[in-house]
């Protein structure tokens, strides 16, 4: 599309490392997170959770709990079914699934909520939860996705004929022919383990029912306030104008705070029924047992190749473990992995099959880079091709990698690459890193018996996800975003956007974009997010859409509002509009006059008879913007690793990233996103793992078991930027913030693979914990 | 539940005399009873460090401490380290280095860094990393946090 309203070329603040406006309140402990809110008469909820992975609920006895002084109510699935509607998730290619607000007949994973206690304080609510007696009849559990698909497996959802809820195949180009013409077919396997988002602030809600107005205010650390409101109203049988979602400061989301959870809905329904405000703050054990999890995928690839390394075609088989319930369509995220597997390479003959199983484990959902396994799979396949053919892995990459000259390029799966600097980024990274020199050092290290390796990962990060993407994927969502920009009568600016910050710094970056679009300064702009009574209906924060969609629409709205400012100024001075401009809050006419934005705003609001004929009083503009189906950014990650053969520990002596995210709104914020994303990827590969035993017990319910990266292990990332603006977005912004995860998973795994190559070890499964690595070393040393 | 006990705790220089249940966590006492919500609770089992406060000058987990254990003690929270106007040097360095994103873990890091730099005003990077390793951050990847603490130490600024 062409952005006709975008006539602004000069950028004063887009691209500047403006310090964050939101920092002061966070640094001084004055941020307002969900648990910092309280209202008069507030009560507290605590959930009774299943200790079984799979069991029938025979009876729930609440008398003892209700008898405890301070307890107000105990509600079970039966009561909630009277107060709320079920959720139904359906997507083409997937069996539709329903979910009651709380289970009625059986529990499906350890941590499944079965009852909710409401009491006057949190301590009493927790005491009472222990007094609720639930009689269970345990059933056989299924905890492994491929076993779950077997005909004799216990059914996780009794309403379905099978646990294999999706099984879809897609084919593009001439795959059979490509494999028939191949000199060699190279196979590779990739198993990624279950992880969880672990935002430092767990989930939480404060639901307040105004019985006089019949309105619910739902304070919730949310990523997508408006879609949440629509969903909440529908589940509660309220009209949408009876529900207000207000998201205070959010202590990290990473995808976990997108859906309407059953606990949150329960609390809202009970707040209405009891006519009492109820707060629920999840504790960490609940977060690690029962908030969404992610990433448990398995992929096998077959590449049809020529002896010179040319890839003729690719086949992939993909599996995902979706856990016990569908808060999203189970085939949704693994489908994205399938769509993007060709990555930076010229692969037109491509076919994939995806399968999704449900199991007796916590439900899955998107986590920062839901398609995170993709880069590891693509680049791991390339490395395997190089290994089998005895070629340099960089040469195989260069041979198959798309160049800038070949773009716009339509990938096999139907998406268009444009302005991606894949080769440039790879070459720049290798040069900055000193690739040849590293290979020499590696040879010397190997001669000394040291395990030194290099992981090379070229990332194509799909992001922003416009409405056309949702349509083509068959998902009933949209990808547009909305902004309202107001110059108030005193000349200060308020901006409301539908996205919601979970730490991304939107209050700064949107202010920068608006400052340039409008001709004001970032400090004159206040950005207000998260309150559905204030912000326009937008699709919220997900899929790295904050920059291109969120800041993008605010920028476009500001550009349009600037046009009105200029028309008004031109009228006041009786000059052609081309002779007027606005910059840093000053409206200037070529060759002389100037007027403060404040004076102009005063006229617009308070002196409407001065306005040109037909111009409406006020300076306020609302705009929506639907971005392209996908914006892509690209990056190259180079990760040097050294494996200690004695301890199995992986050390990262050097980590270099070249990123091309197009126009950067704020390079400091972008670097922070890259560092955080890459650290999350590394943490996932080396430390994190949700462990279920064969009976479905979760063994990682604390941070002493579920390990996160700390300052002691975090590498220093050396970041370089290429900035190739997108031709298709406001100001040339591309999305970013998820690719760092994809790149790091790939680069660390492939680095370890490279390090262990001399002993013939195959690194085809994560996490790369010391025990797994020692196991690999032992196995291969013994067999040699 | 057991009978409440009367305790006297000096919090951020102000003597607070309150009745609390023996099982009341210091973190709840600070947040709920004294409205000092800058101390955050991230795990309630002593790993994440978001709830770090100073008890008699030592960095401590307020989620693993009962309020009654602080009878007669001096407790300093992130609010107590914040000047009436502007930022303290550690806060300023965090701001300049972009050492925070969502901000939830930030008060815990600032209290930890404060106690650490008092004890070791000229640390090595390895010492900084080790000192901060008891505080978890899910957003930043720690690089800028380490830079910020280094900057305070190298600037010779008093925490």
On whether residue A243 sits in a domain, the answer given is yes
| In a shared domain, residues A639 and A614 | no
CATH no. of B5-79: 3.10.20.30
> What's the pLDDT band for A531 if we cut at 50, 70, 90?
very high
The answer to whether residue A243 neighbours chain B at the CB level (below 8 Å) is no
The answer to whether residue A456 neighbours chain B at the CB level (below 8 Å) is no
Structure tokens at A487: 């110059």
Contact B106, B95 (CB under 8 A): no
| In a shared domain, residues A725 and A751 | yes
Mean pLDDT value across residues A410-437: 97
On whether residue A687 sits in a domain, the answer given is yes
β-bridge mates for residue A280, sequence order: A205
β-bridge mates for residue A316, sequence order: A301, A352
Interacting residues of A436 by C-beta distance below 8 A, sequence separation 6+? none
Give how many domains chain A has, as a whole number.
Answer: 3
> What's the pLDDT band for A783 if we cut at 50, 70, 90?
low
Q: For residues A175 and A430, give the distance between their C-alpha atoms in angstroms, rounded to a whole number.
A: 33
Chain B contact set for A504 (CB, 8 A)? 101
In the predicted structure, residue A6 carries a pLDDT above the cut 50:
no
Per-residue model confidence (pLDDT) at position A8: 39
Per-residue model confidence (pLDDT) at position A206: 98
Alpha helix locations (H) across A281-372? 284-290, 332-340
Interacting residues of A743 by C-beta distance below 8 A, sequence separation 6+? A375, A457, A459, A635, A636, A637, A657, A678, A681
Contact A80, A103 (CB under 8 A): no
Structure tokens at A244: 């207000």
B138 → closest Cβ in A22, A198, A504: A198
On whether residue A301 sits in a domain, the answer given is no
Query: Considering A560, A592, A625, which residue would you say is the last residue of a domain?
Result: A625
Secondary structure letter of residue B67 according to DSSP: G
B101 → closest Cβ in A35, A36, A672: A672
Give the tens place of pLDDT for each residue, B58-94: 999 999 999 999 999 999 999 999 999 999 999 999 9
Q: Are strands A55-61 and A133-138 parallel, antiparallel or unpaired?
A: antiparallel
The residue of B141, B147, B152 whose CB has the most chain A CBs within 10 angstroms, and thus the best one to mutate to test that interface, is: B141
- CATH classification of the domain holding A63: 3.90.1170.50
In the predicted structure, residue A2 carries a pLDDT above the cut 60:
no
> What's the pLDDT band for A4 if we cut at 50, 70, 90?
very low
Contact call for A28 and B23, based on CB within 8 A:
no
| In a shared domain, residues A503 and A621 | yes
Tell me the residue ranges of DSSP E strands in A96-161: 97-99, 106-107, 113-119, 133-138
Give the tens place of pLDDT for each residue, A750-778: 999 999 999 999 999 999 999 999 999 99
On whether residue A353 sits in a domain, the answer given is no
On whether residue A339 sits in a domain, the answer given is no
A679 → closest Cβ in B47, B104, B142: B142
A711 → closest Cβ in B47, B102, B129: B129
Can you name the CATH fold of B89-154? DNA polymerase; domain 1 (1.10.150)
Side by side, the strands of the sheet bearing A278-281 are A71-76, A113-119, A43-49, A278-281, A204-210, A215-220, A243-246
Q: Over pLDDT 90: what percentage of chain A?
A: 95
In the predicted structure, residue A150 carries a pLDDT above the cut 90:
yes
Contact call for B142 and A710, based on CB within 8 A:
yes
Count the neighbouring beta carbons within 10 Å of the beta carbon of residue A627: 29
On whether residue A673 sits in a domain, the answer given is yes
Count the neighbouring beta carbons within 10 Å of the beta carbon of residue B110: 32
| In a shared domain, residues A695 and A567 | no
Contact call for A27 and B94, based on CB within 8 A:
yes
Structure tokens at B72: 């007669």
Same fold, B5-79 and B89-154: no
Cβ under 8 Å to B: A residues 125-154? 127
The answer to whether residue A37 neighbours chain B at the CB level (below 8 Å) is no
Contact call for B103 and A127, based on CB within 8 A:
no
Q: Any idea which residue has 């290099």 for tokens?
A: A454
Per-residue model confidence (pLDDT) at position A10: 54
Contact A685, A672 (CB under 8 A): no
Give the tens place of pLDDT for each residue, B90-143: 999 999 999 999 999 999 999 999 999 999 999 999 999 999 999 999 999 999
Residue A270's alpha-carbon distances to A21, A45, A122, A273, in angstroms, are 38, 10, 16, 5
Phi, psi of A503 (to 5 degrees): 125, 0
In the predicted structure, residue A7 carries a pLDDT above the cut 60:
no
- CATH classification of the domain holding A603: 3.30.365.10
Give the tens place of pLDDT for each residue, A433-480: 999 999 999 999 999 999 999 999 999 999 999 999 988 887 778 999
| In a shared domain, residues A695 and A750 | yes
Mean pLDDT value across residues A156-179: 98
Q: What is the chain A residue with the closest CA to B146?
A: A711
| In a shared domain, residues A526 and A616 | yes
Q: For residues A649 and A599, give the distance between their C-alpha atoms in angstroms, rounded to a whole number.
A: 65
Q: Could you tell me the residue ranges of all domains in chain B?
A: 5-79, 89-154
The answer to whether residue A609 neighbours chain B at the CB level (below 8 Å) is no
Exposure letters A341-373 (e unless 16+ CB within 10 A, then b): bbbbbbbbbbbbbbbbbbbbbbbbbbbbbbbbb
Contact call for A28 and B141, based on CB within 8 A:
no
On whether residue A296 sits in a domain, the answer given is no
Mean pLDDT value across residues A37-66: 98
Q: Mean pLDDT for chain B?
A: 96
Q: For residues A24 and A30, give the distance between their C-alpha atoms in angstroms, rounded to a whole number.
A: 8
A711 → closest Cβ in B24, B36, B145: B145
Give the tens place of pLDDT for each residue, A92-130: 899 999 999 999 999 999 999 999 999 999 999 999 999
The region, left, alpha or beta by phi > 0 then psi within -120 to 50, assigned to residue A776 is alpha
Mean pLDDT value across residues A165-177: 98
Q: Which range among A165-169, A186-190, A707-711, A732-736 shows the weakest confidence by mean pLDDT?
A: A732-736
Q: What is the chain B residue with the closest CA to A33?
A: B104
| In a shared domain, residues A655 and A693 | yes
Exposure letters A185-220 (e unless 16+ CB within 10 A, then b): ebebbbebbbbbbbbbbbbbbbbbbeeeeeebbbbb
Q: How far is A577 from chain B (nearest CA, A)?
A: 41
B78 → closest Cβ in A29, A36, A712: A29
Q: How far is B79 from chain A (nearest CA, A)?
A: 6
| In a shared domain, residues A529 and A543 | yes
**Longest pairwise C-alpha distance within chain A:** 91
Secondary structure letter of residue A640 according to DSSP: E
On whether residue A532 sits in a domain, the answer given is yes
Per-residue model confidence (pLDDT) at position A537: 96
Secondary structure letter of residue A393 according to DSSP: H
Q: For residues A156 and A693, give the distance between their C-alpha atoms in angstroms, rounded to a whole number.
A: 17
Q: Are strands A586-589 and A594-596 parallel, antiparallel or unpaired?
A: antiparallel
Interacting residues of A364 by C-beta distance below 8 A, sequence separation 6+? A292, A293, A294, A296, A320, A321, A322, A323, A328, A330, A333
Q: For residues A102 and A477, give the distance between their C-alpha atoms in angstroms, rounded to a whole number.
A: 25
Contact call for A708 and B138, based on CB within 8 A:
yes
Nearest CA to A222 out of A196, A198, A248, A199 is that of: A248
| In a shared domain, residues A663 and A619 | no
Q: How far is B121 from chain A (nearest CA, A)?
A: 19
Chain B contact set for A32 (CB, 8 A)? 37
Nearest CA to A98 out of A111, A82, A81 is that of: A81
| In a shared domain, residues A603 and A581 | yes
Task: Count interface pairs A-B at CB distance under 8 A.
Answer: 176
In the predicted structure, residue A593 carries a pLDDT above the cut 90:
no
| In a shared domain, residues A487 and A509 | yes
β-bridge mates for residue A654, sequence order: A640
Q: What is the chain A residue with the closest CA to B80?
A: A28
**Residue A753 CA from chain centroid, whole number:** 27
pTM score of the predicted model: 0.96
Nearest CA to A249 out of A44, A533, A24 is that of: A24
β-bridge mates for residue A299, sequence order: A190, A318
Q: Over pLDDT 70: what percentage of chain A?
A: 98
Chain A contact set for B24 (CB, 8 A)? 123
Q: Which domain holds residue A599?
A: 23-31+480-625
Contact B159, B123 (CB under 8 A): no
- Assign A625 to helix, strand or coil: strand
| In a shared domain, residues A595 and A644 | no
Chain B contact set for A24 (CB, 8 A)? 87, 95
Contact call for A25 and B103, based on CB within 8 A:
yes
Report helix angle A667-686 to A739-756, nearest 10.
Answer: 40
Q: For residues A659 and A678, give the distance between their C-alpha atoms in angstroms, rounded to a whole number.
A: 12
């Amino acid at each position: 599309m062409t952005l006709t309203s975008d006539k602004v070329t000069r950028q004063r603040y887009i691209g500047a490392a403006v310090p964050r406006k939101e920092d002061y309140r966070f640094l001084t402990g004055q941020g307002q997170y969900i648990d910092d809110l309280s209202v008069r008469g507030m009560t507290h909820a605590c959930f009774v959770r299943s200790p079984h992975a799979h069991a029938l609920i025979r009876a729930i006895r609440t008398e003892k709990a209700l008898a405890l002084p301070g307890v107000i109510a105990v509600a079970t699935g039966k009561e909630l079914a009277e107060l709320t509607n079920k959720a139904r998730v359906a997507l083409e290619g997937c069996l539709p699934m329903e979910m009651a607000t709380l289970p009625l007949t059986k529990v499906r994973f350890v941590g499944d909520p079965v009852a909710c206690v409401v009491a006057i304080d949190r301590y009493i609510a927790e005491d009472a939860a222990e007094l609720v007696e639930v009689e269970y009849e345990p059933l056989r559990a299924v905890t492994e996705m491929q076993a779950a698909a077997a005909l004799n497996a216990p059914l996780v959802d009794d309403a379905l004929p099978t646990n294999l809820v999706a099984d879809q195949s897609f084919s593009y180009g001439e795959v059979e022919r490509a494999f028939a013409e191949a000199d060699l077919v190279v196979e590779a396997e990739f198993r990624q383990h279950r992880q969880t988002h672990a935002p430092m602030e767990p989930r939480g809600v404060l639901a307040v029912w105004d019985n006089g107005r019949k309105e619910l205010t739902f304070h919730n650390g949310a990523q997508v306030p408006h879609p949440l409101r629509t969903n909440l109203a529908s589940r509660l049988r309220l009209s949408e104008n009876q529900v207000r979602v207000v998201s205070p400061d959010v202590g990290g989301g990473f995808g976990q705070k997108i859906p309407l959870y059953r606990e949150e809905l329960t609390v809202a329904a009970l707040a209405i029924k009891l006519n009492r405000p109820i707060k629920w703050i999840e504790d960490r054990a609940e977060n690690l047992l029962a908030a969404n999890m992610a990433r448990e995928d398995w992929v096998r690839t077959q590449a049809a190749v020529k002896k010179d390394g040319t890839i003729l075609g690719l086949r992939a088989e993909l599996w995902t473990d979706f856990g016990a319930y569908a808060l999203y369509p189970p085939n949704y995220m693994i489908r994205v992995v399938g769509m993007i597997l060709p990555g930076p390479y010229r692969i037109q003959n491509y076919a994939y099959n995806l399968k999704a199983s449900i199991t007796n484990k916590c439900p899955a959902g998107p986590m920062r880079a839901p398609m995170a396994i993709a880069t590891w799979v693509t680049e791991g396949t390339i490395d395997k091709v190089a290994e089998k053919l005895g070629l340099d892995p960089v040469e195989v990459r260069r041979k198959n990698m798309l160049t800038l000259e070949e773009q716009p390029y339509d990938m096999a799966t139907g998406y268009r690459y444009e302005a991606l600097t894949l080769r440039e980024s790879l070459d720049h990274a290798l040069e900055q890193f000193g690739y040849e020199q590293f290979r020499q050092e590696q040879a010397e290290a190997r001669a000394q018996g040291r395990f030194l390796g290099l992981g090379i990962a070229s990332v194509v990060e799909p992001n922003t996800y416009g409405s056309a993407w949702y349509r083509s994927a068959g998902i009933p969502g949209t990808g547009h975003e909305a902004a309202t920009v107001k110059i108030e009568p005193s000349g200060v600016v308020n901006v409301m956007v539908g996205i919601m910050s979970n730490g991304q710094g939107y209050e700064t970056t949107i202010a920068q974009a608006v400052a340039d679009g409008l001709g004001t300064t970032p400090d004159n702009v206040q950005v207000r997010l998260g309150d559905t009574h204030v912000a326009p209906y937008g699709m919220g924060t997900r899929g790295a859409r904050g920059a291109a969609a969120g800041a993008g629409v605010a920028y476009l709205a500001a550009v349009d509002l600037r046009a009105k400012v200029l028309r008004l100024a031109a009228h006041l001075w009786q000059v052609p509009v081309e002779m007027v401009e606005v910059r840093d809050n000053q409206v200037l006419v070529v060759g002389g006059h100037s007027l403060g934005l404040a004076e102009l705003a005063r006229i617009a609001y308070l002196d409407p008879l001065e306005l040109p004929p037909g111009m409406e009083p006020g300076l306020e503009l609302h705009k929506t913007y639907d971005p392209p189906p996908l914006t892509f950014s690209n990056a190259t990650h180079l990760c040097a690793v050294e494996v200690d053969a004695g301890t199995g520990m992986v050390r990262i002596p050097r980590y270099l990233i070249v990123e091309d995210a197009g126009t950067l709104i704020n390079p400091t914020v972008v670097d922070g996103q890259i560092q955080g994303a890459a650290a999350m990827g590394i943490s996932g590969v080396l430390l994190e793992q949700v462990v279920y035993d064969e009976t479905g017990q979760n063994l990682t319910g604390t941070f002493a078991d579920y390990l996160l990266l700390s300052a002691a292990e975090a590498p220093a990332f050396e970041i370089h930027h290429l900035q190739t603006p997108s031709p298709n977005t406001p100001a040339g912004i591309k999305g970013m913030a998820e690719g760092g995860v994809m790149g790091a998973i790939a680069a660390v795994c492939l680095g370890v693979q490279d390090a262990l190559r001399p002993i013939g070890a195959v690194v085809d499964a994560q996490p790369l914990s010391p025990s797994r690595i020692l196991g690999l070393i032992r196995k291969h040393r013994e067999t040699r | 539940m057991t009978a409440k006990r009367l305790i006297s705790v000096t919090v951020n220089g102000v003597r607070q005399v309150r009745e609390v249940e023996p099982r009341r966590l210091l973190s709840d006492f600070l947040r709920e009873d004294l409205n000092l919500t800058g101390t955050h609770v991230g795990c309630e089992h002593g790993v994440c460090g978001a709830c770090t406060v100073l008890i008699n000058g030592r960095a401590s987990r307020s989620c693993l401490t009962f309020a009654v254990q602080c009878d007669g003690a001096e407790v300093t929270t992130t609010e107590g380290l914040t000047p009436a106007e502007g930022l303290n040097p550690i806060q300023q360095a965090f701001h300049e280095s972009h050492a925070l994103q969502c901000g939830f873990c930030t008060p815990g890091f600032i209290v930890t860094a404060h106690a650490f730099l008092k004890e070791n005003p000229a640390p090595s990077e390895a010492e900084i990393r080790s000192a901060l390793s008891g505080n978890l951050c899910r957003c930043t990847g720690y690089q800028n946090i380490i830079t910020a603490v280094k900057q305070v130490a190298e600037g010779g600024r008093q925490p």
